[in-house]
Amino acid sequence: MPAKTPVKSSAKAAPAASSDPYKKLGAARLLEIHELMVRSRLLEERLIKMSKGGDGFFWIGGPGEEAFNVPLGLHVKKGHGVNHDFLHLHYRSSAIVQALGGKPIDALRQMRSVATDPYSKGRNFVNHYAIPEWNIVPISPTIETQYSTSIGTGIAQARAKTDAITIVNGGDAGSAEGDFHSCLVWANRPVLPLPILIVVVNNGWGISTKEETQHGERHIADWAKVFPDMPGKTIDGNDVVSSWNALDEAFAFIRKNRKPYLLEARCSRLYGHSSSSGANRIPEADCIELLEKNLVSRGLAKADALKKVWAAEAAALDAAHQQVKQEPFPAVETVWQDVFADGLPPSYPTKGGS
């Protein structure tokens, strides 16, 4: 069983030796990750621009979490139904969705709330995904409720003969909600332990509130100390390789043992909380910069080649944005779609009063 004591991994891995974790992971994988990180970052920066430019309203998203979220996405057994992994995500999970193969243009559509928004038909905020093909259940703006719903897919998978698992993802401040407790309690029931990867991305903030003012526990992963059967670990989520290795271990543990695992990843919050707080760049560690440094210094990539990734992704995004600008807004009558699965009964009140 993995260590119960949180392990603070260092972002500065020694680049020498064949045991170098970057080299072990290998250039091909790292470049794949890098490309997805860049795509996710540029997507978020575009969304911010749209919010500021009147091309949509509220923005909230996950720039700064790519080094953790992309590796997480790449560990997912992607597909539909209980034999594939379920994802209960939140509004900072864009890089997970991109790693799974999400199309940036669809996020732009949700940002502009056009009729083609495939996640909510122009109803919900940006980065609120719902993708049944990949078991991404509807993201809700309500903090921490995903920890309660994760119990359900966890039960379904605990019953099934499968190695598929449930992943739930949320923030540090949200762990004060009772839903976090519910998830811990239900995942550790002796009669039916649940195969859930309980992730907390700790960016040190809940909007304007500092982590250290509210948390009496040393690490959020220390909640695992209550349960002898649940490992808990804290890692540096700004480092791709620490993230990758921790996720390797956690996924493997859960797939095999059908028991929960609590993983806390410390990440940056690069543009503050949301557009409400300005969405300006904050001087915190940038995981993509860090990865690029590590790649170049090890000779795993050339700076030039990395720059080209940025350019290509930006160009693709430009094109997507141009297209979305042409797309119509949803028609007002569409609000009556999807109220019920079997359609709106003719006598349902629809006038908004007399």
Partner 1 sequence: MANMAQAIRMALHHGEQKLGVTEIFGEDVGPPLGGVFTATQGLERSWNSPLDERGIIGAALGLAWAGGRPVAEVQFVDYIFNAIDMLKLAANGHWASGGKYKTPMVVMTPTGSGIHGSMYHSHSFDSVATKLHGMKVVCPSTPADAYGLMISAIKSDDPVLYLKPKALLRTRGEELLPGEPDEKTLHDMIDAPLGDRTKWKPKWPKLGEYSVEIGKAKISHPGSAATVVTHGRMAPICLDVARRLKADGKGEVEVIDMRTLIPYDWEAISASIKKTGRVLFVNEETEITNFGEHLIRRTVDEMFYDLKVRPRLLAGKATPGIALSPNLEYFIQPQTADVERAIGELLADPA
Interaction of residue 174 with ligand TPP, rule CB under 6 A: yes
User: Cβ contacts of residue 87 below 8 Å, gap of 6+?
Assistant: 76, 93, 96, 134, 135, 136, 137, 166, 167, 168, 169
Near Mg ion by CB under 5 A: residue from 169, 203, 238, 274: 203
Q: Which residue has the tokens 């992607």?
A: 78
* Partner interacting with residue 189 (select from partner 1, ligand TPP, Mg ion, none; CB below 5-8 Å by kind): partner 1
Q: Could you tell me where the beta strands, DSSP code E, fall in 48-93?
A: 86-88
Near a second copy by CB under 8 A: residue from 68, 134, 223, 261: 223
Interaction of residue 176 with partner 1, rule CB under 8 A: yes
Near partner 1 by CB under 8 A: residue from 39, 75, 92, 128: 128
Contact 128, 120 (CB under 8 A): yes
- Residue 192's φ and ψ, nearest 5 degrees, are -160, 75
* Partner interacting with residue 124 (select from Mg ion, ligand TPP, partner 1, none; CB below 5-8 Å by kind): partner 1
* Partner interacting with residue 245 (select from a second copy, Mg ion, ligand TPP, none; CB below 5-8 Å by kind): none
* Partner interacting with residue 212 (select from ligand TPP, partner 1, a second copy, none; CB below 5-8 Å by kind): a second copy
Site stretch for ligand TPP (CB under 6 A), options 107-115, 151-159, 202-210, 235-243: 202-210
- Residue 112's φ and ψ, nearest 5 degrees, are -85, -5
Question: Would you give the binding string for partner 1 spanning residues 203-242, x where CB under 8 A is met?
Answer: ---xxxx---xx----------------------------
Interaction of residue 1 with a second copy, rule CB under 8 A: no
Interaction of residue 179 with ligand TPP, rule CB under 6 A: no
- Give me the least distance between CB of 178 and partner 1, in Å please: 6
Interface of this chain with ligand TPP, residues 260 to 289, rule: CB under 6 A: 273
Interaction of residue 332 with a second copy, rule CB under 8 A: no
Q: Nearer Cβ to partner 1, position 2 or 118?
A: 118
Distance between CA 269 and CA 39 in Å, rounded? 17
Angle, alpha carbons 113-201-174 (nearest 5°) = 75
Q: Which residue has the tokens 């940002």?
A: 111
Distances (CA, A) of 102 to 78, 85, 118, 308: 12, 16, 11, 21
Q: Nearer Cβ to a second copy, position 188 or 268?
A: 188
Identify which of 210, 312, 224, 205 has the alpha carbon closest to the alpha carbon of residue 262. 224
Interaction of residue 141 with ligand TPP, rule CB under 6 A: yes
Contact 288, 34 (CB under 8 A): yes
Phi-psi region of 272 (alpha: psi -120 to 50; beta: other; left: phi over 0): left
DSSP string over 183-239: HHHHHT-TTS---EEEEEEE-SEETTEEHHHH--SSSGGGGGGG-TT--EEEEETT-
Residues interacting with Mg ion, by CB under 5 A? 171-173, 203, 205
In the complex, which residues of this chain contact ligand TPP (CB under 6 A)?
Answer: 92, 141-143, 170-174, 203, 205-207, 273
Residues in contact with a second copy by the rule CB under 8 A:
176-182, 185, 187-191, 193, 212-218, 222-223, 225-230
